[in-house]
Amino acid sequence: MSDFDYDLFVIGAGSGGVRAARTAAAAGARVAVAEDRYLGGTCVNVGCVPKKLYSYAAHFHDAFDDSAGFGWTLAEAPRFEWTTLRDNKVSEIKRLNGIYANLLDNAGVRLIHGRARVQDAHHVEVAGERLSAEKILVAVGGWPWVPDFPGNEHVVTSNEVFDLEHFPERFLVLGGGYIAVEFASIFNGLGSDTHLIYRGELFLRGFDQEVREFTRDEMDKKGVQVHFGTNIERIDRGENGLAVTLTSGERLEVDAVLAATGRRPNLADLGLDTLGVALNSDSSLAVNARFETSVPSILALGDVSGGPELTPVALAEAMQLVQHHFGDTPPPPLDYERIATAVFCHPNIGTVGLSEDAARERYGAIRVYRTDFRPLKHTLSGSQERCLMKLIVDDASDVVVGAHMVGEEAGEVIQGIAIAVRAGLTKADFDATVGIHPTGAEEFVTLRTPSRH
437 is catalytic: yes
Question: Other C-beta atoms within 10 Å of 369: how many?
Answer: 22
Residue 402 to residue 171: CA distance in whole angstroms: 35
Q: Which residues have CB under 8 Å from 147's CB, separation 6+?
A: 174, 232, 259, 261
Nearest to 29 by CA among 348, 451, 434, 318: 318
Residue 381 to residue 431: CA distance in whole angstroms: 31
CA-only gyration radius of the chain, Å: 24
Which are the catalytic amino acids?
437
